[in-house]
Amino acid sequence: MKKNLLYLSLAGLLAFSGCTEQKRLNSSYTYKTECLGVEFDGSQTVIAYSSKRNKEDAIEDAKKIALRDLLFSGLTEGKPNCDVKPILNEANAYASHEAYFIRFFANDYRSFAIFKEERPGQKAKNQKVKNVAQSNGYVLKISRPALKQKMISDGILTNQ
């Protein structure tokens, strides 16, 4: 009888300890931009993540992140039929043309990235937890050929 009571109390203790509230969430994880597919016109459908709280700001931030990844580092995550190479192969392209890219990411980027839909990412389940970053994924259509042509016409990329 004592063994059964001991086992029962141990099982109850384990059940209650598993139901405790999560104290800390790992908010330092950053998602990588993923390629979801290539359209017939050469544009790429990507999912980019942003942790901004305001939805409009988060969409604009996701557009900038996706374009920055496409221009400088390439898209290594996602479907294998996507073009993974960056548009600008030059080392330190951003530093070499910093004034141009500051202007580009201030206004000009909007015509190359189109918002399609939102997908939920990592969110805090308990809203009592403060200072937890929320990441949402935004599906975007990036016009890779038009972006490449813009870089060629502005003299950033030599015609290859």
Instruction: Please state the pTM of the whole predicted model.
Output: 0.73
**Whole-Å CA distances, 17 to 6, 10, 20, 22:** 16, 11, 6, 11
Q: Give the residue carrying structure tokens 């109850």.
A: 12
First to last CA, the chain: 83
Please list the pLDDT of the chain residue by residue as tens digits (160 residues): 777 777 777 777 666 666 656 555 455 567 889 999 898 988 999 999 888 888 889 899 999 999 999 999 888 888 888 888 888 888 888 888 899 999 999 988 889 998 987 666 544 444 444 555 567 888 999 999 999 999 899 888 876 5
Tokens linked to 90: 């030059």
Give residues with Cβ within 8 angstroms of 153, minimum separation 6.
Answer: none
Pair of tokens at residue 152: 């060629």
Q: Which two tokens stand for residue 16?
A: 């209650």
C-alpha to C-alpha distance for 123 and 119, rounded to whole angstroms = 11
